[in-house]
Amino acid sequence: MLISELPSALERFDELETALASRAPALFLDYDGTLTPIAARPEQAVLPEGTRAVLERLAGLCPVALVSGRDLATLRRLVALEGVTFAGEHGFDIRHPDGRLEQPPEVVELVPEIDAIERALRGALDDLEALIFERKRFSLAIHYRHLAGSHLGRLREAVEAQLARHPQVKAMHGKKVFELQPAIDWNKGRAVLSLMSVEGIGAESLPIFLGDDVTDETAFERLRGRGLCVVLEGEEDRETAATLRLSDPDEVRVYLERLCRLLEARPAA
């Protein structure tokens, strides 16, 4: 369905209440565009204090995981909370609440290739000052939100030339960003399923995933029929596998506050 055709998650909150009468929630949250508004520069996407406060309360009530395209260190610094799971770089780089780290080994082996691509692209596109290169541990994001449309073809060609030279690396296309990352069969959807098994989130629980970007669709698809998927409205309408919608990060905070009050009102198990 198109995002614009979905019912509001706030208007359908009673359905969540009913579902949680018999199941415990497990929360999976994207960061940029979901918890914080999309910022002009990635480093400006600060977590609103009210959202941090409600996440802290929720972390004491149910499993909470941040699943983001950001690198792990940046994500931890921006969210600045204990007792939650951080899945950076679309789940390549995971830190569990007890401090344990987890990465697929094939991702670690590809770091030198990402290094080579970064050098080549920074060199080839040196004169395009509007580009923002965001180097992460296992991937490279090139943000082109401020790039003149006439230069987009050149960026695309440069990226494609690198992909041809490095077949073990693939490009993901997000919101005004190319993400060059290891071409392994891994995405947010697989990361969520893996987290559910590792964190002991059983079949009796209700996974709830909130996200705004096309990379979140992999999680919506994996959780279809099993969990509750909420998509954020973006600049453009598009098809989605989510079944509910929220309009912006303010509505996400309101939704999380209602969920939090609902869980706090429950008698202790």
* Catalytic choice (14, 30, 93, 213): 30
Amino acid letter for position 266: R
**Active site (annotated) includes residue 30:** yes
CB of 264 vs Mg ion, minimal distance in Å: 27
Residues in the chain: 269
Shorter beta-carbon distance to Mg ion: residue 25 or 249: 249
CA distance 19 to 228: 10
**Token digits of residue 93:** 């780089």
Shorter beta-carbon distance to Mg ion: residue 33 or 227: 33
- Footprint of Mg ion on residues 199-228 (CB under 5 A)? 212-213
Q: Is 26 helix (H, G, I), strand (E, B) or coil?
A: strand
Shorter beta-carbon distance to Mg ion: residue 241 or 262: 241
Is there a contact between 62 and 84 (Cβ–Cβ < 8 Å)? no
Number of residues that bind Mg ion (CB under 5 A): 5
Which conformational region is residue 69 in: left (phi greater than 0), alpha (psi within -120 to 50 degrees), or beta? Answer: alpha
Cβ-proximal residue to Mg ion, closest one: 33
CB of 192 vs Mg ion, minimal distance in Å: 14
CB of 210 vs Mg ion, minimal distance in Å: 10
DSSP 240: -
Shorter beta-carbon distance to Mg ion: residue 142 or 158: 142
Which of residues 26, 32, 62, 74 is near Mg ion by CB under 5 A? 32
CB of 246 vs Mg ion, minimal distance in Å: 13
Sign of CA dihedral 59, 24, 36, 153: positive
Q: Give the contact letters, 158-197, x = binds to Mg ion (CB under 5 A), - = no.
A: ----------------------------------------
CA distance 191 to 156: 28
Q: Does 33 bind Mg ion (CB under 5 A)?
A: yes
Contact range with Mg ion by CB under 5 A, out of 33-41, 58-66, 77-85, 112-120: 33-41
- Footprint of Mg ion on residues 119-148 (CB under 5 A)? none
**Token digits of residue 212:** 């705004």
Sign of CA dihedral 100, 105, 111, 112: positive
Which of residues 6, 30, 136, 178 is near Mg ion by CB under 5 A? 30
Q: In this structure, how many other beta carbons lie within 10 angstroms of the beta carbon of residue 149?
A: 7
Q: In this structure, how many other beta carbons lie within 10 angstroms of the beta carbon of residue 153?
A: 9
Report the interface residues with Mg ion, using CB under 5 A: 30, 32-33, 212-213
Active centre residues (catalytic): 30
